[in-house]
Amino acid sequence: MKIEDKPLNELVSAFFEELRRCQYPVSNISCLSAKISEIEAFALTQGIENYNIETGQKFLSMFYPMTGRFSSWKDIDAQTRNAYWAVGLLNDLFLHGYFTMTKKARILPLPEKDEVLLLNFQKFQLEKGFAEISAKRTTGSIRSFLTYLNSHKVKIAEISEDDIIGYLSAYIDKSKPYINTIILALKRFSDFLVCNEIVRNEIAAYIPPLNKMVSPRVPSVWSDTEIKKMLESIDRGNPMGKRDYAILIMAIKLGLRCSDIKNLQFHDIDWDRKCINITQRKTQKPLSIPFSDDVGWAVIDYLKNGRPQTELPYLFVTHTAPIKPFSATTSLYGMISRYRTIAGIDLHENSRRGMHSLRHTFATNLLRNEIPLETIAEMLGHVGMSSVDVYLSVETEELRSIALDPEEVFHHG
């Protein structure tokens, strides 16, 4: 796969059109405009008419070099940050035709051959049947790995065991689940390289086995009081509060997965029948679930009084530029954590109170109301009954109520 160079003047024109389409604030456009002017002036002095990733790299290395100047990202001055931001967005537009980044890029641009390699690697994963969110996360990990190889002047075809160990040593203090994601990414990347005959089969032998994982912890469940306090902590007088309230009440009252809420589109809601009809992102199975009046009015309030003006078909969008749907990798943990803090809800050390805990709470409450497991599985959109078993583990009170008295057992023994 070879990405052709593009006329710089056309790319710059498309760049500012994309900024406006994504509703970047005037202050951002002003900062980026200054850096784009610098890139155009640089290209003029170099006799460059067509843009590619190497052009952006030459500009940065000549005017905003980082090597030896900064010990961390926080030390970088605003002008250098903006330069890397502008080049990152320009590369984004060059590679994809639109902006995929939502924040100032903190990753140094890779050589064009590596950027193309990453695009092919992500395509390889999708063709193998991996979910989009998994492919993006893995590609992000491999971007970091390629940055490491470039900094050590190691060619991909010459990767050794020392290179693998050297890279992984940077994560030695991380948790087992985190290290496992890195190892999985390397194994998947190894398969890609071997399938495309870029490396020999031996590279897989250099990658260590996965850390053994302990059994998953019992999911945390919210009490009715905690749910009430969290919802009341949301400022529904501002647009973002209206959006967050609608998202959280959907998770609480409908038990929808975070990925399905983020992916909701206007055509998914049947207002006449008061139900939501979707194809689940995780299972690719259809799901139809009715919604109550409070859910419906929360969504209506957001659509009429809170949602930014955009032609996007998704119900929920970001409220900072670029205005776009939530990405597949956005967990929304920050949202629930923010309101949990505002509400003053204390958590014990091992508590798990992310977005998925609201789904657990929904299912657990159904179980407490003696709804059959088959019905719960259907409402949650689970493919099989085994997925529902985890909710039984949180019903300690119900289990205690049917526990046998040991003395009685021994007495009648």
Q: How far apart are the first and last CA of the chain?
A: 76
Contact 94, 6 (CB under 8 A): yes
356 catalytically annotated:
yes
User: Side by side, which strands form the sheet with 269-270?
Assistant: 269-270, 275-279, 286-290
Q: Which two tokens stand for residue 375?
A: 């019905």
The residue from 359, 368, 400, 412 that is catalytic is 359
**Alpha carbon distances (Å) from 148 to 66, 140, 141:** 15, 13, 11
Burial of 212 (0-12, 13-18, 19+ CB in 10 A): exposed
257 catalytically annotated:
yes
d(CA 254, CA 380): 8
Q: Sign of torsion, CA 160 165 168 170?
A: negative
Q: How many CB atoms lie within 10 A of CB 307?
A: 21
Q: Which of 359, 357, 367, 358 is CA-nearest to residue 395?
A: 367
Half-sphere exposure of 123 (CA within 13 A, CB side): 9
The residue from 35, 188, 262, 382 that is catalytic is 382
The residue from 35, 188, 236, 356 that is catalytic is 356
143 catalytically annotated:
no
Question: Residue 6, Cα to own-chain centre: how many angstroms?
Answer: 30
What Rg value do the Cα atoms of the chain yield, rounded? 25
382 catalytically annotated:
yes
The residue from 143, 257, 262, 353 that is catalytic is 257
Cis peptide before 216 (omega within 30 of 0): no
The residue from 96, 200, 282, 285 that is catalytic is 282
Just list the catalytic residues. 257, 282, 356, 359, 382, 391
